[in-house]
Structure 1
Amino acid sequence: MWEAEPMPRFAPDRLRILAGDAAFARGEAYHAAGAVSLLSAAGEEVVAIVRGGEDYRVRLRGGGSRIAGDCTCPAFDRDGWCKHLVAAALAANAAGEAVPDRRGAIRAHLLGLGAGVLADMLLDLAERDPALWRRLDLVASAAHAPAAEHAARLRETLRDTLRPRHHGDYAEAGGWAEEVLDTLAQIPALIAGGAAGEAKDLLETVLDELPAALEQRDDSDGGGMEILDRAAALHLEACRALRPDPLVLAAELFERAWDDDFGTFDRADATYVDLLGEAGLAEYRRLAEAAYDRLPPVGRSGADPKAADRRRLTEILDCFATREGDLDRRIALRRAALADAHAYLALARFCLEQGRPILARQVAEDGAWLFEDASATALVEFLAERLVAEGRREEAIAALWRGFERAPAFILFRALQGLAAPEAADRSLALLRARRAAMGKAYRWRLGALVQLELEILMATARLAEAWEVTRACEIDDGLLLRLAHASEGPLPGEAARAYRAVIERQIGLTDRRGYEEACRLLGRLAALEPAAEHAAYVAALRARYRAKRSLVPMLDRHLAERTGQ
């Protein structure tokens, strides 16, 4: 009599959906290679070890299409379902009912051994595993040791964990961060137990040593920032319990805010405001002002060797000025940091936002005169807008022309057009062509920028025939050529068709699938520009010429079939 084949424990189709095709295929390979050791199966739970770059523990739950699981590999933390889960599930399917409940048997055995034997076994394991030893040591210390002694144990553990003996790779980072966070989780009890001072010292150890520790770790998943945020929150909690002297606290917080590359204490004056009080805030500000006054001025060249310190101190002092409503001070802080055209533009915009439009225009004028390269383009545009707003249209046009002549840019041309300057296109093109002729071909990249801008202006003013003349005289990139071709499909279809054919040939010459797909896309645009018979002949010629490209030929056939309806 025929018997139905038993259903697998875990539905393969569901596994494929959960893991994705790539991870499922790799999981199949791991299973086929015998990389799975099934440890235990009890009810709806399966536990296994999968051997990869290292051994990973896998736990699967459920059955059929209802499947959940976890794995100790980095890919599971990052992406969820991984190849190890797939491999373990397929191995469980293959084993059927043959996997014993080893976990249950071991547990039953251990329960009968007695507490003393279990304690000795656990200690023996811990002596071989430093992380487990530290964890057990801290648990015992928290339960029985005086607060000061427990704090010393925590400090020793944190220092040992934060000072790696080798560079930690991505696979180790998650476990390392988890161990540090587990240790930090014991600090609230220390604070509540009357040892806030010891807790504060511990947290300052973490905050001081973590940056160096992160230099030795691949912290791609951000575990280090989680540690920093948690340590900072606990530091505030410890300070609230301890209530340190406001002047001493102000000095400590200022030093951290000024010397913190991670920004953890950037707004310490606001975060700790209830602890600092008026006296602490005044001291915090005094320290910031004194440090700011010691900074050397920004050089005439814009070089600022103390740029990072200036930025942090400016942010601190700007917060005080904001709370006091001192706009002049806020402007002065920004003016002192003017190092380039971008800084001038930022200050000009700030002045405008704060209701100082005349000052905004004056700052923009100063910057536009100082900087003559492309970095000042946006600043020149802003200056023109402010001059127009003041009713000084002719001065705005003059400023735009001055900026365009120094560093030609399309946005300046557009601004000139917007001011109805009738000679904008002709004058801009004449300037670009004169420079192109004078430059020759000695400076290829600068020449390319001039040609591109010339074509942008010609396309913007619908002077397409002139644009095509430029393409015949100068080398341009395919992206710009295709934009010109697209704009010319209606008025100059022959030019557009020639451009499409040239780019199609170059895309096929890339000899990769992406190039073939782009070539076929352009064939679609080309088909709309030429008679069907002519287009079919061109595609047939491509097919014959590139018949050795096995990936391309079917694509060309599909394209032609779509056009002919066959």
Structure 2
Amino acid sequence: MTHALGFTEKDLRRLAGARSFERGLGYLSAVSRLEIGDEAISATVDGTDTYEVQLTEDEDSGLTGWCDCPYGREGNFCKHCVAVGLTVLRQAESVPQQRSAAVSRTRLLDGWLESLTREELLALVREQLADDRDLRRRMELRAAAVGEDTGIVRERILSLLDTRPFARYGYVEYADAHAYGRQAAEAVTALRALTASSRSADAVEVAREAFQALGRTYGEIDDSDGLIGEVATGLAEAHLEACLAARPDPVETAEWLVRCLLDEVNDMADIDLFDYREVLGDPGLARARTLVVAAWRANPKGWAEKHLMERFLKTEGESVDALVEVHAADLAPNGHTHLVIATELEAAGRTGEALQWAERGLQETVSEWGPHDDLVAFLCERYERAHRLADVVAARRNLLRARPSLAAYRHLRTAARAAGTWEGAERADALQVLRAVAQPKNGRGCYGSVLVDALMDDNDLRAAWQAATDGHADQRQWLALADRIRDPQPADALNVYLRWIEPLRKQTGATTYERLAELLLSARACHHALGSEAEFATYLAALRTDQKRKRKLMAILDQHGL
């Protein structure tokens, strides 16, 4: 079914960002070999090098773009994608016809292939196999999978998982990961073919080797899109399918699984030992439990060991005390493990012990960043239920001191107001904490201080202005303050707007121009409140004269009536 374009120039700007979009405008004449299919659009763009671009439309995810330029390899919608998208938009009226033609070509090809005799098809396939080495290797693998020689299958599968042909610098970069992933996926297909051809016992052994081989190199692949992780999951699923068909020795299988689960290679595919319950039976599960308990006792702080112990205890319905023992063997310095224990105890109806563990978490916190937020929230919620408001305030106060933030300030304010202690020493002490950690800014810093945000959140604009004047505000905070005081103090707000207009005069780009127009509108509102519209008109005329070469800026100012 053919369809018109599902994206606009606005979509291209949103995906690429203003900078890449503007640069893409300069590459319209560099687009060649444009091919519009039913769902995908491909083209070549000549830049520093010749780059391949593909745009894909999907009803759920919308427009996506892929390019093999360095910036595109990082997963960005680059200027080359923009150029191809704009080129297509400029011939939008002919897109339905082009897509209809693509569908017709596909149907014509299918019809021609169906008309060929067996001998003609074989000749065509052999011709392609002679010209395409990768295709030949894949076909050889499929042939071996239904044949008798498992050695050939093993060799081919391991070669499909070999990263060396794709690792130009000893590492499979993003641009090459897709091609490697497509090749590696053939290994999963071959393993399933082995199982389907009644050679599941062979598939079990080959799947183990394949999984381990991929695990050894997984850390050397840029798997930003998760394609290789999907291959690893496929290998694990193929192994389970083979085990269910072959029913290998349960004890030996349990030993292999536990070794694998304790190894870092399992990070690439989340194998669950209990998915193998039917394969392992009671003997295999018993052996697995023995190995897991021994591993945990030898290394109680190991993440994999703890996770496996927890899975066994929960799956087999062990007592909560056994779970507490596992977690208590490795307590996090920020109290998060105490919270896990408290949650388990509370779920078991042991609320008193749960509260004790949570309070221990606060007392035993040794992290320089203070206790975990969720631990504090857990305790405060239970203090509130018990009407222990002073304890809620104390917990929130300590968290603000340990990790000052606007959120912590707000929580303390809410708790202290509920306790009736905010408007006095509590607020003054909280602001003093924020003042102590506020670092003076030069007016153009990247980050402002929590102090200014907290004062604005309190609607104490006079104090916030003073803190900003003392050097505790960044650009965002200055402009937010200016917006808040514009009506009562237009002259002060105007000075802020003008200060931040100046650096924008030296910058380019659609986003900058929109921001400049926004600030000019705010400045105009201040002049209107001051009754000095003529002064603003003079200022704006001078700015337009100075910036007249920026035609895009002039157009945006016109759009805003400036």
- Shared fold, TM over 0.5: yes
Instruction: Kindly indicate whether the alpha-carbon contact (under 8 Å) linking 1:482 and 1:499 is maintained by their aligned counterparts in 2.
Output: yes
1:138 to 134, 137, 141: 141
Alignment of 1:297-312 (within 5 A): 310-312=302-304
Instruction: Tell which deviates more after alignment, 269-278 or 378-387.
Output: 378-387
CA distance in 2, matches of 1:122, 1:141: 17
Cα offsets for 1:490-545 (capped at 9, x unmatched):
55455444433333334445454423322322333444444275245225314414
Q: CA deviation at 1:271?
A: 0.7
Output the amino acid matched with 1:153.
I
Pair 1:283–1:474, CA change in 2 (3 A): same
Pair 1:225–1:334, CA change in 2 (3 A): same
Cα offsets for 1:84-125 (capped at 9, x unmatched):
9979x99xx99xxxxxx9xx99x99xx999959976x97687
Pair 1:127–1:509, CA change in 2 (3 A): closer
Output the amino acid matched with 1:332.
E
Q: Are 1:278 and 2:282 matched, yes or no?
A: yes
CA distance in 1, matches of 2:117, 2:278: 56
CA distance in 2, matches of 1:374, 1:16: 46
Instruction: Tell which deviates more after alignment, 480-489 or 165-174.
Output: 165-174
CA distance in 2, matches of 1:240, 1:440: 62
Q: Are 1:358 and 2:352 matched, yes or no?
A: yes
Instruction: Kindly indicate whether the alpha-carbon contact (under 8 Å) linking 2:320 and 2:344 is maintained by their aligned counterparts in 1.
Output: no
CA distance in 2, matches of 1:340, 1:560: 58
Partner of 1:322: 314
Partner of 1:396: 392
Gaps of 5+ in 2: 14-20, 55-65, 99-104
Q: Are 1:458 and 2:451 matched, yes or no?
A: no
Instruction: Kindly indicate whether the alpha-carbon contact (under 8 Å) linking 2:28 and 2:84 is maintained by their aligned counterparts in 1.
Output: yes
Partner of 2:520: 523
Instruction: Tell which deviates more after alignment, 448-457 or 247-256.
Output: 448-457
Of structures 1 and 2, the one scoring higher in RCO (CA 8 A, sep 6+) is 2
Partner of 2:511: 514
Alignment of 1:56-75 (within 5 A): none
The structure with the largest alpha-carbon Rg is 1
2:371 to 376, 400, 411: 376
Cα offsets for 1:158-189 (capped at 9, x unmatched):
12222224515555444443333334324334
Q: Aligned-residue CA RMSD in angstroms? A: 5.1
Instruction: Kindly indicate whether the alpha-carbon contact (under 8 Å) linking 1:432 and 1:450 is maintained by their aligned counterparts in 2.
Output: no
Number of residue pairs matched? 497
Secondary structure at 2:532 match in 1? helix
Instruction: Kindly indicate whether the alpha-carbon contact (under 8 Å) linking 2:393 and 2:416 is maintained by their aligned counterparts in 1.
Output: no
Partner of 2:158: 159
Partner of 1:387: 383
Pair 1:554–1:325, CA change in 2 (3 A): same
CA distance in 1, matches of 2:30, 2:327: 61
Output the amino acid matched with 1:470.
A
Instruction: Kindly indicate whether the alpha-carbon contact (under 8 Å) linking 1:318 and 1:333 is maintained by their aligned counterparts in 2.
Output: yes
Output the amino acid matched with 1:456.
D
Partner of 2:478: 481
CA distance in 1, matches of 2:224, 2:505: 38
Partner of 2:498: 501
CA distance in 2, matches of 1:479, 1:28: 40
CA distance in 2, matches of 1:419, 1:317: 43
Alignment of 1:415-430 (within 5 A): 415-423=414-422, 426-430=425-429
Cα offsets for 1:270-315 (capped at 9, x unmatched):
2111112222222212111110000165xxxxxxxxxxxx222222
Pair 1:247–1:142, CA change in 2 (3 A): closer
Pair 1:315–1:440, CA change in 2 (3 A): closer
Partner of 1:335: 328
Output the amino acid matched with 1:339.
A
Partner of 1:68: none
1:248 to 252, 258, 263: 252
Output the amino acid matched with 2:329.
A
Pair 1:556–1:451, CA change in 2 (3 A): closer
Cα offsets for 1:433-459 (capped at 9, x unmatched):
48857x897x879xx999833333322
CA distance in 2, matches of 1:335, 1:186: 45
1:239 to 240, 243, 248: 243
Q: TM-score, normalised by structure 2?
A: 0.70
Cα offsets for 1:217-245 (capped at 9, x unmatched):
44444332232222222211111121122
Secondary structure at 1:499 match in 2? helix
Q: TM-score, normalised by structure 1?
A: 0.70
Cα offsets for 1:338-375 (capped at 9, x unmatched):
22215246424555555444334323332323347444
CA distance in 1, matches of 2:51, 2:519: 51
Gaps of 5+ in 1: 1-9, 38-43, 59-71, 95-100, 298-309, 562-566
CA distance in 2, matches of 1:221, 1:451: 35
Instruction: Tell which deviates more after alignment, 213-222 or 227-236.
Output: 213-222
CA distance in 2, matches of 1:381, 1:55: 52
CA distance in 1, matches of 2:143, 2:438: 81
Partner of 2:17: none
Pair 1:487–1:385, CA change in 2 (3 A): farther
